[in-house]
């Protein structure tokens, strides 16, 4: 059941989520294990989707109701784009989805199927990017050749670094002068950072 997987990924138990909905602690466990109720009420589905950061469609909503027509559902990846030593991963795993305004994507020149969301971890890209910021990335291959901040894989570590094209290819650097040197290794460009979101501090 998708709900159990997303709850586990968020660090929340089904009983805690049941209490958040104002239900008894076994409510969602019964829904997942026994199919009771058969379908979550709209209010509860919306609250869970907002809390877990997923589209309502993964919790049983009709696809047409999951994302308004003015928005696009963009995958949220479970890996963090480390602005530090790097997050070791085997692959990018979809954690959920975010609704992004279609007009914003058009203004940024990003095709809906090339957009993805990642959370920044670490301090090496301060003051431009802080630990905990969410970034919207363009994963289209042509974007890899452009100067700017990119999410990259160096060997098996995923990082966010500034890319500067040069005669021999490109150079990766950190924005924070106090950050350690960017490690050497095989580099793959995963996407160019085109937008960032930051919680109020």
Q: What is the per-residue pLDDT across 28-62, written as a single tens digit (0 to 9) for each?
A: 999 888 888 888 888 888 888 777 777 777 787 77
- What pTM was estimated for this model as a whole? 0.60
Q: What is the per-residue pLDDT across 73-120, written as a single tens digit (0 to 9) for each?
A: 787 776 666 666 555 544 555 556 677 888 888 888 888 888 888 888
Q: How far apart are CA 129 and CA 112, in angstroms?
A: 23
DSSP state of 68: -
Q: What is the mean pLDDT of the chain?
A: 80
CA-based nearest residue to 81, from 145, 130, 10: 130
DSSP state of 26: T
User: CB neighbours of 157 closer than 8 A, spacing ≥ 6?
Assistant: 82, 85, 86, 87, 88, 183, 185
CA-based nearest residue to 114, from 147, 89, 136: 136
């Amino acid at each position: 059941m998708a709900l159990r997987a997303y709850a586990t990924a968020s660090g929340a138990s089904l009983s805690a989520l049941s209490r958040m909905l104002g239900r008894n602690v076994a409510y969602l466990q019964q829904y997942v294990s026994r199919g009771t109720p058969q379908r979550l009420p709209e209010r509860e589905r919306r609250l869970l989707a907002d809390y877990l950061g997923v589209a309502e469609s993964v919790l049983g909503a009709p696809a047409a109701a999951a994302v308004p027509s003015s928005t696009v559902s963009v995958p949220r990846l479970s890996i963090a784009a480390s602005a530090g030593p790097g997050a070791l991963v085997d692959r990018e795993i979809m954690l959920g989805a975010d609704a992004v305004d279609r007009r914003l994507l058009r203004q940024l020149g990003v095709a809906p199927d090339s957009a993805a969301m990642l959370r920044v971890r670490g301090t090496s890209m301060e003051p431009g990017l802080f630990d905990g910021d969410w970034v919207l990335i363009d994963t289209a291959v042509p974007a890899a050749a452009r100067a700017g901040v990119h999410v990259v894989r160096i060997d098996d570590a995923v990082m966010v670094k500034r890319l500067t094209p040069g005669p021999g290819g490109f150079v990766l650097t950190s924005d924070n002068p106090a950050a350690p040197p960017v490690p050497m290794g095989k580099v793959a460009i995963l996407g160019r950072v085109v937008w960032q979101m930051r919680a109020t501090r």
